[in-house]
């Protein structure tokens, strides 16, 4: 097969953010937690794309949007090897690999239904006790919330 035919062409964005190296199975979760399904500008995404490093990957391009540190922490919790590429005038202005924070505040709901944070107007606070498996320990009830049980606020 002609190598030129294997290339996937996706239009470049003038200004905005590209989230690359998302695990293929996490693309829709990233879209949901960032509320990109309700975003009014262009959002392009691909999933199950070939990746030399990971086998398959996903990518999301968002026009005219730059993400807050809180949003980047959300991405890190579901896509710990993702890279964030900021674009301005069609050029890369910043590129960084997400980092799982040591503490997570106010963005994840505690898995324990009896936790005080699920009954009162308290912001959740967690210590990240395992960055490989993504395990969060609640500062209030001390229960562990694992990656598969995470609900984002």
Secondary structure of 29-93 in HEC code, one letter for each residue: HHHHHCCHHHCCCCEEEEEEEEECCCEEEEEEEEECCCCCHHHHHHHHHHCCCCEEEEEECCEEE
Reported as a single tens digit per residue, the pLDDT across 11-66 is: 789 999 999 999 999 999 999 999 999 999 999 999 998 888 878 999 999 999 99
Common-topology check for domains 13-97 and 103-152:
no
The answer to whether domain 13-97 has CATH 1.10.1040.10 is no
Q: What is the pLDDT of residue 51?
A: 82
Q: 103-152 has which fold?
A: SH3 type barrels. (2.30.30)
Q: Please give the model's pTM, rounded to 2 decimal places.
A: 0.86
Half-sphere exposure of residue 151: CA atoms within 13 angstroms, side-chain side: 8
Place of tokens 């994840």: 108
Domain ranges (residues) in the chain: 13-97, 103-152
Given its phi and psi angles, is residue 116 left (phi above 0), alpha (psi -120 to 50 degrees) or beta?
alpha
Percentage of residues in the chain having pLDDT higher than 70: 93
Q: What is the pLDDT of residue 3?
A: 54
How sure is the predictor about 119, in pLDDT bands with cuts at 50, 70 and 90?
Answer: very high
Question: Can you tell me the distance from the alpha carbon of 104 to that of 67, in angstroms, rounded to the nearest whole number?
Answer: 17
């Amino acid at each position: 097969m002609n190598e030129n035919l294997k290339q996937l062409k996706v239009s470049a964005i003038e200004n905005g953010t590209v989230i690359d190296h998302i695990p293929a199975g996490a693309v829709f979760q990233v879209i949901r937690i960032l509320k990109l399904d309700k975003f009014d500008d262009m959002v392009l995404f691909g999933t199950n794309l070939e990746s030399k490093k990971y086998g398959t990957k996903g990518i999301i391009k968002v026009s005219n949007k730059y993400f807050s540190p809180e949003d980047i922490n959300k991405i890190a919790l579901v896509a710990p090897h993702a890279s964030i590429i900021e674009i301005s005038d069609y050029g890369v202005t910043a590129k960084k690999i997400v980092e799982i924070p040591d503490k997570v505040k106010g963005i994840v709901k505690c898995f324990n239904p009896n936790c005080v944070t699920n009954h009162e107007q308290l912001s959740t606070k967690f210590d990240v006790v395992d960055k490989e498996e993504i395990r969060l320990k609640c500062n209030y009830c001390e229960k562990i919330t694992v990656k598969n049980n995470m609900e984002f606020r």
